[in-house]
């Protein structure tokens, strides 16, 4: 029986999202035993997850207390840390998945690998020379490209599947555990609401509104929540319930809100044990919170995600087909000097109506500066279709086309599929985008050739070293420009950085690999251009055929 | 740090015929009614006693205050409590332990005549401290041994490798750490590992590197 350890040292939402990978791992091999290592403060989340044989924890709070208090010497914290690692080091692992890919997780993988040399590591670990080893190109893409490339070509869930070499399994079991007692209470309460507000035999759909998020910047603004509740209450087809956690802060906010509605609001106070039962039985969920969103996804509850603040744009978006994501337009999400546009109650309300009846989608009209996306599945996994609002062509084309370019890099076969998401744009716009990317690729290639030249000179003349460093810096600056050429340069940068102390020969070898990748990018863009031209030609031919056909018909009628 | 072993202890009887110790001329309980005084002590500390099950008491005296705390806990039907009592005066404790006042209860642990350094080396006691017990100083004992208890509270553990290497449980890590000078601190070893390249890294290097990274995450708590 295979034993797999998933190391995930991130927070609530990320840990809950691991359920997608566990589901697929179990779907691919139901006999394998899955274990998970998290920080102890998140154990409540792993307790909710199905398919986990056992969860191990690092008691960060205790270790740091022992470290920081001067009354204890360092042996205490070190012993405590080792005591946490001991049980995972005693198990013979077949696979270790470095899910969080942070430094602690990566060092722990290296520690486990040192003692268990046959274990296969997915993701990052260090070898005995402390060079960073990526298990696959997908792992490099996750760590080097998605950390700097802003257009989010792939969803994290797909990347984790690809890194762990598992195929998605859509039909495997639902994941979060629910307690029967909580299921019964929720069902009874929701049935009462439905019964009480039934008009002409038609029961309203229950809309759960998550009141808060992990940070204020991510929350829906209080006045917008009040307006949203009013709008829902005015519509007999839907009924709002407010979701809060049982803590003082959220209770106070809920009480204040409830007073505005003469204490008539239904407020569902649910802890981590109870919230899955609630979300499972909602008809629609509207949430700015990542943990709640992930639970909604796992139960396939139709969801409107309000994506605000520093949360990664689309990287971990709600992923069930037909769910909506409302976001301030892309260019404001990453800007430090432009403030985010406000998502209004009306924006959220219209999305809720579209989830009630998809015909309403066409009627959606958003506040200024807001964009709406709908999740879907394509050949490469989870994708997002731009629906309405601010349409930033460069961003949308970059997102969709880089997705295919990355696939080309992995499969080593240039394949272009002009998806409906790309063909939504005029061929003239696509051609402008291609030309601009080719121009940047040319600049990037020039920077690369200068780097190679300066590197060669530096090998024979030590004084040229400074010039080489300067040209290498210039080349690497392309990695953060979010252009198509940024992708191979980001991979190159990661590969150079993965060496503890890279030698000139190694940099030279990597430079030639980058040259190949840039040439592939050019070929990819040329191939894309040809496809666009053939579409243009086809459209033109069809247009002329139709004109000729119509003319002949007119002529024969005469 | 020295404990106050040399304190002279004599026993007197209170007005209501109960034994009261006098250490270095200081009365440790009421000479009129030590039980009533102890009851007052628990009443004053009632909010603390009602919210906790773990208590650290500074000074045993003749145990009147300890017995009163236990009675208070029993009234609240709390039976799973744990009490540690620190008493620096060995002679006082010897007399107390042979008196009628001494309760034989496994839930009470007495740490007698130990220096702060010795106290912080007791694993069970450190585990107890990590559980954040409520601290209840017996005022007369605390005032008598103020310097001792202050040093216990403001104790800075010697933190060079040589001070604790023998306390490292993992034998592999202990052997690995023996290669470093005894006057070096763990932080210096970890920082050097992060910044200066080595030809080959061993398993213990990765443990220390992971441990070092974990220290940086305190802001996430």
Helix (H, G, I), strand (E, B) or coil at B9: strand
**Which residues in A241-274 are b (16+ Cβ under 10 Å) and which e?**
bbbbbeeeebeebbeebbeeeeeebebbbbebeb
Alpha carbon of A56: minimum distance to chain B alpha carbons (Å):
16
CA-nearest residue to B220 within chain A is: A11
* Terminal CA-CA length for chain A: 80
pLDDT over 80 at A528, yes or no: yes
Q: Which residue is closest to A129 within chain B, CA to CA?
A: B200
What is the least distance, in Å, from the CA of B109 to any CA of chain A? 20
Distance of CA A535 to the CA centre of its chain: 32
Rounded to the nearest angstrom, the minimum Cα separation between B24 and chain A is: 30
Confidence category of residue A538, pLDDT binned at 50, 70, 90: confident
Q: Are A66 and A72 in contact (CB under 8 A)?
A: yes
A85 touches chain B (CB under 8 A): yes
pLDDT at A503 over 90: no
pLDDT category at A160 given cuts 50, 70, 90 is: very high
Mutation pick from A63, A72, A100 vs chain B, by most beta carbons of B within 10 Å, is A72
The SS3 of residue A147 is: coil
User: Does any CB of chain B come closer than 8 Å to the CB of residue A339?
Assistant: no
Task: Render pLDDT for A176-192 as a digit per residue (tens, 0 to 9).
Answer: 778 899 999 999 999 99
Would you call A82 and B170 a contact, using CB atoms and an 8 Å cutoff? yes
| Chain A residues within 8 A of B209 when measuring between CB atoms | 103, 107
Cα-based angle A401, A426, A307 (whole degrees, multiple of 5): 55
Distance between CA atoms of residues A257 and A267, nearest Å:
10
pLDDT at residue A214 in the model: 81
Q: For residue B2, what pLDDT band results from cuts at 50, 70 and 90?
A: very low
The rounded radius of gyration (Å) of the Cα atoms in chain B is: 22
Alpha carbon of A79: minimum distance to chain B alpha carbons (Å):
6
Separation of alpha carbons A195 and A206, rounded Å: 11
List, as one string, the DSSP characters of A273-284.
TTHHHHHHT-SE
What are the φ/ψ torsions at residue A202 (nearest 5 degrees)? -110, 115
- Taking the C-alpha atoms of residue A155 and residue A159, their distance in angstroms, rounded to an integer, is 6
CB pair distance less than 8 Å for A114 and B203? yes
Residue A551's pLDDT is 67
Is the model's pLDDT at A87 over the cut of 70?
A: yes
In whole angstroms, what is the distance from residue A426 CA to residue A442 CA?
Answer: 25
ipTM: 0.89
Mean pLDDT of chain B: 92
In 3D space, the residue among B24, B23, B20 whose CA is nearest the CA of residue B11 turns out to be B20
Name the minimum distance, in Å, from the CA of B67 to any CA of chain A.
Answer: 29
Say which DSSP state A221 is in.
P
How many whole angstroms separate alpha carbon A552 and alpha carbon A544? 12
Q: pLDDT of B15-55, one tens digit each?
A: 999 999 999 899 999 999 999 999 999 999 999 999 999 99
Angle at A362 between CA A357 and CA A365, to 5 degrees: 110
In B, minimum Cα distance to A105 occurs at B210
The whole-number pLDDT of residue A536 equals: 84
Q: Which of A484, A495, A308 is nearest to A405 (CA)?
A: A484
Q: What backbone phi and psi angles, to 5 degrees, belong to A176? A: -65, 145
- Measured distance between the N- and C-terminal CA atoms of chain B, rounded to whole angstroms: 35
The contacts of residue A494 (CB under 8 Å, 6+ apart) are A134, A140, A143, A144
Categorize the per-residue pLDDT at B1 as very low, low, confident or very high, splitting at 50, 70 and 90: very low
Interface test with chain A among B210, B212, B215, B217, by most A beta carbons within 10 Å: B210
Of B185, B199, B203, the CB nearest to A115: B203
Cα nearest neighbour of B184 on chain A? A74
**Is B130 close to A65, i.e. CB distance below 8 A?**
yes
Give the per-residue pLDDT at A409: 93
Tell me which of B94 and A546 has the higher pLDDT: B94
What token pair was written down for A555?
Answer: 């002529």
Give the tokens for residue A388.
């309405």
Quote the CA–CA distance of A53 and A32 in Å, as a whole number. 9
A340 conformational bin, left if phi > 0, alpha if psi -120 to 50, beta if neither: beta
A331-335, A439-443, B38-42, range with the lowest pLDDT: A331-335
Model confidence band, residue A285 (pLDDT cutoffs 50, 70, 90)? very high
Query: Cβ contacts (< 8 Å) between B149 and chain A: which residues?
Result: none
pLDDT digits (tens, 9 = 90+) for A360-373: 999 999 999 999 99
Q: In chain A, which residues have their Cβ closer than 8 Å to the Cβ of B187?
A: 74
CA A95, A97, A99: angle at the middle one, nearest 5? 170
Q: Residue A217 — very low, low, confident or very high, per pLDDT cuts 50/70/90?
A: confident
Name residues 94-153 of chain A within 8 A of B (Cβ): 102-104, 107-108, 110-111, 114-115, 126, 128-130
- Say yes or no to pLDDT of A338 above 90: no
- Which chain B residue is nearest to residue A10, measuring alpha carbons? B220
Question: What value, to the nearest 5°, has the Cα angle with vertex B141 and ends B137 and B147?
Answer: 90
A60 touches chain B (CB under 8 A): yes
Please say whether the beta carbons of A292 and A285 come within 8 A: yes
Dist CA A72 CA B127 (whole Å): 11
Residue B4 pLDDT > 50:
no
What predicted TM-score, i.e. pTM, was given to this entire model?
A: 0.88
The stretch A372-387 carries a mean pLDDT of 94
Asked if A241 contacts A256 with a C-beta cutoff of 8 angstroms, the reply is no
Structure tokens at A196: 């009480």
Is A215 at the interface with chain B, CB within 8 A? no
- The alpha-carbon gap from A366 to the nearest alpha carbon of chain B, in Å, equals 36
Give dist(CA A229, CA A265) in Å, integer.
Answer: 9
Q: Cβ–Cβ of A81/B206 closer than 8 Å?
A: no
Cross-chain Cβ contact A107/B210 below 8 Å? yes
List CB contacts (< 8 A) between A75 and chain B: 164-165, 167-168
Kindly provide the b/e burial profile for residues B105-115, where b requires at least 16 CB atoms within 10 angstroms of the residue's own CB: eeebebbbbbb
Contact B197 A130 (CB under 8 A): yes
pLDDT of residue A218: 86
Instruction: Among B170, B197, B220, select the one facing A500 at the smallest CB separation.
Output: B197
Interchain pair A11, B220: CB under 8 A = yes
- CA distance linking residue A340 with residue A220, whole number of Å: 13
């Amino acid at each position: 029986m295979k034993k797999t350890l998933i190391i995930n040292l991130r927070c609530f939402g990320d840990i809950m999202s691991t359920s997608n990978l566990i589901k697929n791992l179990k779907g691919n091999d139901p006999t394998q035993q899955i274990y998970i290592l998290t920080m102890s403060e998140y154990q409540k989340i792993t307790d909710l997850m199905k398919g986990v044989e056992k969860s191990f924890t690092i008691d960060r709070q205790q270790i740091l207390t022992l470290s920081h208090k001067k009354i204890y010497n360092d042996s205490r914290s070190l012993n405590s840390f080792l005591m946490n690692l001991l049980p995972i080091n005693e198990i013979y692992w077949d696979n270790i998945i470095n899910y969080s890919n942070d430094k602690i997780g990566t060092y722990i993988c290296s520690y486990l690998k040192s003692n268990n040399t046959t274990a296969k590591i997915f993701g990052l670990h260090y070898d005995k020379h402390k060079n960073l080893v990526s298990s696959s190109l997908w792992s490099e893409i996750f760590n080097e490209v998605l950390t700097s490339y802003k257009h989010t070509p792939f969803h994290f869930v797909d990347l984790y599947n690809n890194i762990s070499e598992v195929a998605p399994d859509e039909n495997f079991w639902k994941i979060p555990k629910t307690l029967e007692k909580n299921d019964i209470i929720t069902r009874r309460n929701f049935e009462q609401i439905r019964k009480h507000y039934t008009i002409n035999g038609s029961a309203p759909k229950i809309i759960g509104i998550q009141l808060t998020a992990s940070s204020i910047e991510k929350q829906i603004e209080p006045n917008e929540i009040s307006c949203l509740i009013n709008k829902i209450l005015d519509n007999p087809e839907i009924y709002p319930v407010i979701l809060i956690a049982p803590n003082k802060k959220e209770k106070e906010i809920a009480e204040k809100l409830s007073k505005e509605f003469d204490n008539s609001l239904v407020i569902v106070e649910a802890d981590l044990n109870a919230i899955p039962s609630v979300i499972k039985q909602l008809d629609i969920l509207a949430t700015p919170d990542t943990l709640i969103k992930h639970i909604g996804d796992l139960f396939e509850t139709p969801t409107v995600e309000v994506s605000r603040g520093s949360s990664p744009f689309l990287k971990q978006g709600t992923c069930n087909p037909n769910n909506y994501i409302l976001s301030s337009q892309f260019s404001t999400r990453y800007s430090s000097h432009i403030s985010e546009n406000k998502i209004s109650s009306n924006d959220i309300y219209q999305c809720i109506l579209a989830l009630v009846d998809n015909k309403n989608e066409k009627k959606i009209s958003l506040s200024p500066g807001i964009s709406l996306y709908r999740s879907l599945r394509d050949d490469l996994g989870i994708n997002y279709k731009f629906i309405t609002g601010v349409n930033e062509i460069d961003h949308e084309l970059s997102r969709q086309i880089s997705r295919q370019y990355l696939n080309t890099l992995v499969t080593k076969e240039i394949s272009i599929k002009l998806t409906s998401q790309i063909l939504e744009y005029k061929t003239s716009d696509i051609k402008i985008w291609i030309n601009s990317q080719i121009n940047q690729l040319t600049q990037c290639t020039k920077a690369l050739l200068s780097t190679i030249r300066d590197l060669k000179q530096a090998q024979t003349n030590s004084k040229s070293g400074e010039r080489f460093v300067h040209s290498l810096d210039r080349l690497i600056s392309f990695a953060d420009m979010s252009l198509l050429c940024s992708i191979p340069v980001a991979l190159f940068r990661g590969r150079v950085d993965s060496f503890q102390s890279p030698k000139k020969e190694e940099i030279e070898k990597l430079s030639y690999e980058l040259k190949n990748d840039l040439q592939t990018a050019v070929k990819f863009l040329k191939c894309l251009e040809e496809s666009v031209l053939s579409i243009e030609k086809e459209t033109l031919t069809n247009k002329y055929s139709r004109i000729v056909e119509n003319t002949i018909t007119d002529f024969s009628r005469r | 740090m020295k404990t106050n072993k040399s304190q002279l202890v004599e026993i007197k009887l209170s007005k209501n015929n109960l034994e009261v110790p006098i250490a270095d001329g200081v009365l440790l309980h009421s000479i009129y009614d030590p039980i009533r005084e102890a009851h007052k002590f628990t009443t004053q500390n009632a909010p603390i006693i009602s919210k906790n099950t773990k208590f650290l008491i500074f000074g045993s005296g003749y145990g009147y205050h300890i017995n009163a705390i236990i009675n208070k806990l029993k009234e609240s039907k709390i039976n799973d409590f744990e009490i540690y009592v620190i008493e620096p005066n060995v002679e006082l404790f010897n007399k107390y332990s042979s008196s009628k006042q001494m309760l034989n209860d496994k839930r009470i642990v007495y740490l007698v005549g130990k220096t702060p350094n010795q106290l912080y080396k007791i694993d069970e006691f450190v585990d107890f401290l990590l559980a954040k017990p409520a601290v209840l100083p017996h005022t007369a004992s605390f005032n008598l041994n103020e310097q001792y208890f202050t040093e216990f509270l403001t104790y800075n553990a010697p933190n060079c490798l040589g001070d604790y290497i023998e306390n490292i449980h993992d034998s592999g890590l202990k052997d690995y750490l023996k290669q470093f000078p005894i006057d070096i601190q763990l932080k210096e070893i970890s920082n050097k590992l992060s910044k200066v390249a080595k030809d080959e890294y061993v398993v213990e290097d990765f443990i220390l590197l992971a441990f070092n990274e974990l220290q940086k995450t305190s802001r996430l708590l």
